Chain A
Amino acid sequence: MKIGIKLMGTFFMFAIIVSLFSYYVITEIRTVDHIDEEIDVASHISQDALNFNVENYHTQLEIWEYAIDPNQKRLDAFLAHQNTLHLLLEDWQVSVYEEDYVHEMSGLYDGGRLDMEKIISDLELVEQDWIILLQEIGNLRIMIDKGTSYAELEQQRSAVLLALNNNEKLFDELNFNAEVDQFVFNQHELVNSYAELRILEISQFTNTMYFLSIAVILSSLLLGYLISKSITRRVNLLKESSNQLAKGEFSQVSISGSDELTDLAKSFNIMAEDILQSKITISENLSILEKQKLILNSTVSELKKSTQLREEFASMVTHELKTPLTPIRGYCEMLKDASFGSLTQDQIGYVEKIDSNASTLEQLIEDVLNVQRLEMGKMKFNKENFDVGEFLYKLKQNYIPIMNNTLIEFVVANMPKIQITSDEFRLGEVFNNLIRNSIDFVPLKNAIIEVGAKHENGKIIFHVKDNGSGIPKDKQKNIFKKFYQVDTTATRKHGGVGLGLVISKGIVNGLGGEMWFESEPGKETIFYFDIPVRNN
């Protein structure tokens, strides 16, 4: 709040000064009015006090007492108020300080004082006559009451008239009314002067206050300007540093003062350091990652090399292994053909045995090679369009001779007319593997092997079903493992090294499908595999 307090303080100070000034001016004006009123009242009273008509005495003798009495009262009142005027004048004199006004008002005051003294002394003179007049009137009354003679009454009345005339003459000589008028006029002049003086005082004060206000406004503006400049300058410093930071450079800002802006600067500096620290940590971590990447790359290339070597080894080995088989099989063929002379039936049988074993060996080597290829994902598939129904038909034709020999019923559940894009040859191999297994596990009598296909959700689900001895539950999870063979108590010995299912599964996966089975020991086994209709 410190910046806010500075600003608020400035405006508050200004507001107070303006209020004080206004208040002072207003109260001063009222004071002047007040004095004016008092003087007005006083002067009216003095006016009234002197407003008596001498003619009254001439016209009505009976009411002389009544005429005199009120005027007496008025005179008393006037004399009383002259004291008030005295005091007022004295009061005024105290606060007069302006030279010209002093002189004029002193003059008026002294003049007024003299007028007043003259009036008073005149009245004192008059008072003597009045007393005489009253005495004569009193005498007349007494004489009237006593019942004095008319002649004496007349005499007395003449005396009263004489006193009255004297009174009148005295008033004329004194020029009393004129004196009073003069006096009242002077009092008004005095009041006006006083009022003018007060107005002058006020206007001077007002002028002073105007200058003061202007000075205050200017200094407030200056103060405001300085404060806002200080704020703006510091904010600009902060803006500069922020821009630098935005460009990605490190910067610190140093700001003077002890208000919110300095706090902001401190926070900014801390933030800038945090950002730089983060950058350093990130850069460090990137370095480490780079180095790890290099290690990783070299490991990968080593792995590739080793795989390549393995491949070369495998193909070399299989080739080497297969080579001797060629002459073995060749000679067997020629011996059977009697190319070297005829052989006995038994001899032919022995040669058959040699040949079939060599063939088995050839197949086994091929299987091992296939497994190798499948494991490394190197098996190449020839995908072409063919019809599923036709495919199954051909399959069945292939197996007719074998089935006839072994008395197994071969059933094709259906031959759907659907086009599929896949490797026909490899699919044939899968079927061969599965059917060969089935052949070894079906019972001797009433053996049935069924093959079929079903179109579902863009895939063809093939199956091979047999009613053989099945796969025991505890062996089922191992069925797709390499070299695994379920121990068999079947009459037909199961040849091979246990790679058939591995290869079949591998081929199916390679063609984009899955293989699974259902087996109830002693009842039946069904192997399923699905192949997508389209190559995706």
Chain B
Amino acid sequence: MKVLIVDDNVDITEMLAKYLTVKGFDCVIANDGLNGLNQIKKEKFSTIFLDMSMPDFGGRDVIAALEKENLLKDQRIVIFTASATDNDVIQELLAKDGIELWLKKPVQLKDLLRAVTET
């Protein structure tokens, strides 16, 4: 089961990947939205973790790009949001086909594990 982690914070992506690897998952890391988008187009992931507070090409841009090419509904995306994000914004994103869950930052490991295992 392959997992993609997209977040601009290098330390966080490393730590999350290490954790999930120990728990038995194959992990791929992308530290910006564009790289993340390329990875999604390249192969199929069982779960994609997408950070919504990245600079430049961010989470919203990735989602928009996937929507445009009608690829969004085939994915299983879990979004990371900063604690200050509006609830309306979150609900709007969750309503889209392909976006499963949202986790509030800082990410809790047990929530992360649950998100990957509950397919």
Contacts and interface: CB of A to CB of B under 8 A. Distances in A.
Interface of A: 249-252, 273, 276-277, 279-281, 283-285, 287-288
B interface: dominant SS? helix
Nearest to A279: B15
A interface: dominant SS? helix
Contact of B19 (A250, A283, A287): A250
A250 B12 CA distance: 13
B106 A280 contact: yes
Given A277-B109, A284-B106, A251 B12 contact: no
B19 A284 contact: no
Closest 9 CB pairs of A and B: A284-B106, A281-B106, A283-B11, A250-B18, A277-B109, A283-B12, A252-B22, A287-B9, A284-B105
A250 B9 CA distance: 18
Interface centre among A250, A252, A277 (most CB of B within 10 A): A250
Contacts of A287: 9, 12
A217 B106 CA distance: 59
A250 B106 contact: no
Contacts of B109: 273, 276-277, 280
9 contacts: A252-B22, A252-B23, A280-B107, A283-B9, A283-B12, A283-B15, A283-B106, A284-B12, A287-B12
Contacts of B105: 284
A250 B18 CA distance: 7
Given A249-B18, A276-B109, A287-B9, 7 more contacts: A250-B22, A252-B22, A252-B23, A276-B18, A281-B106, A283-B11, A283-B106
Nearest to B55: A291
Interface of B: 9, 11-12, 15-16, 18-19, 22-23, 82, 105-110
Contacts of B11: 279, 283
A283 B16 CA distance: 12
Contacts of A280: 12, 15-16, 106-107, 109
A327 B11 CA distance: 71
Given A252-B22, A281-B106, A284-B105, A276 B15 contact: yes
A183 to B, nearest CB: 93
B107 to A, nearest CB: 6
A284 B103 CA distance: 13
Nearest to A282: B106
A288 B12 CA distance: 13
A351 to B, nearest CB: 70
A277 B9 CA distance: 15
A281 B15 CA distance: 11
B117 to A, nearest CB: 15
A251 B22 contact: yes
A276 B19 contact: yes
Given A250-B18, A250-B22, A276-B19, A284 B108 contact: no
Nearest to A278: B106
Contacts of B9: 283-284, 287
Nearest to A281: B106
